[in-house]
Amino acid sequence: MEYRQLGDSKVKASVITFGAWAIGGAMWGGTDEEKSIEAIRKSIELGVTSIDTAPIYGFGKSEELVAKAIVGQRDKVQLMTKFGLVWEFEEGEYFFDLIDGGKAHKIYRNARKKNIIRECENSLKRLKTDYIDLYQCHWRDNSLALDETMEALGQLIKDGKILAAGVSNFTAAEIAEGSKITPIASVQPPYSMVNRDIEKELLPYCLAHNVGVIVYSPLQRGVLTGKFKPDHKFPEEDHRANQPQFTPENIERINKFLETIKPIADSYNATVGQLVICWTIAQPGVSAAIVGARDAAQAEQNAKAAQLNVSPADIDLITKRLQALELAAV
C-alpha cells in the first residue's frame, strides 16, 4: 500500500482510504454492524489504514463502529473525521432534511468555534481516542466568517486534540482564505470519472500550493462498478434513488463505457471497479480515494486496486475512452 503525505502536515493517508459513510446506515438503507467491523479490520490488515468518518454518518453510529473495529490498533490507523453538520439543535445555516427511519432531521451547517469544540470532544469519546489525525470542516458555514472556523482548528492543533486541519467541499478560494489563519493539510471533494469538475480549478490550485486532495465517491456511489442495471430499484431511504447518475438511461450509458475498458481490467486480472479506483488515484494531484465497503470481501477487493501496476499508457487510454461518455441531463 502506498501512503501519501497531506500537505505540510505529519499525516500520511493510504491511497485507498476506508469510507465509513455507508456503515452509519442513514441514507444507505441500514447497516450490518458485524460485517462493517469486519470490513474495517480487513482493510487495516491489507494496509488501508486511513479511515474517513463523520458524526452525521448515522448520527454518531459510524464513529462508534470505527472505534469498535480499531480496538488495539489505534497506532496503526489514521482517523479522519469531520465537524459542522448538526442535527441536535437549530443553529447556523440550514442545509437539508435527512430522512432516517421515517423521521425527518433538520441538518444545519454550523462551524462556530463553540460547536467545533463540542463536536470534537464528542467525536473523541465516540472514537475512544485522545486525538484525531485529520479533523475536517464538512461543509462551509456561510452564516459566519471563515476566520472563526479556522481559529478553532488552530486551537485544537495547539491543544493536541487534532494533528492536522482539513476541509471538505471547499473551493480553491476558500482554501486560500482559510490557510491564512491555519494551515490546511487537505481538501475532500467529490471526484470520479463522471464527475470531474475539480480538474478545472481545485486540483491545479492544490498541486501548486501543496494541499492534499482526498476524493470521495470515486465509484460514484457504486455505479462505476458496472453492477447496476437500468431497472435497479433502491430502498426508499437510499439517497442514490435521486442521484442523476442512477437514472436508467445514465446507468445504461455508463455500463456501455465500462464495457470498453473491461479488456484493460482483464489484462491486469482486475475488476472494472478496481481499474476505476486505480485510474482515480493516478490522476495528478489526487492524494487518496475514499472507498466504502460493507463487508470484508468488498474491503479486500478495494485494497487490491492499490496493487495494480497499470501503465501510464493504459491510464491515458482509459481517459481517451472516457471522453466519449456523455450523461443525459436530468
Catalytic site positions: 57
Question: Per-residue b/e over 261-280, b at no fewer than 16 CB within 10 Å?
Answer: beebbeebebbbbbbbbbbb
Sign of the torsion formed by the C-alpha atoms of 279, 287, 56 and 177: negative
Q: How many Å from the N-terminal Cα to the C-terminal Cα in the chain?
A: 38
Comparing C-alpha atoms, which of 115, 104, 174, 108 is closest to residue 146?
A: 174
Whether the Cβ atoms of residue 167 and residue 187 lie closer than 8 Å to each other: yes
Beta strands 186-188; 132-137: pairing state: unpaired
Question: H-helix or E-strand containing 296?
Answer: helix 296-304
CA distances to 196, 229, 286, 298, 330 from 215, in Å = 11, 25, 7, 19, 24
Separation CA 1–CA 46 (nearest Å): 8
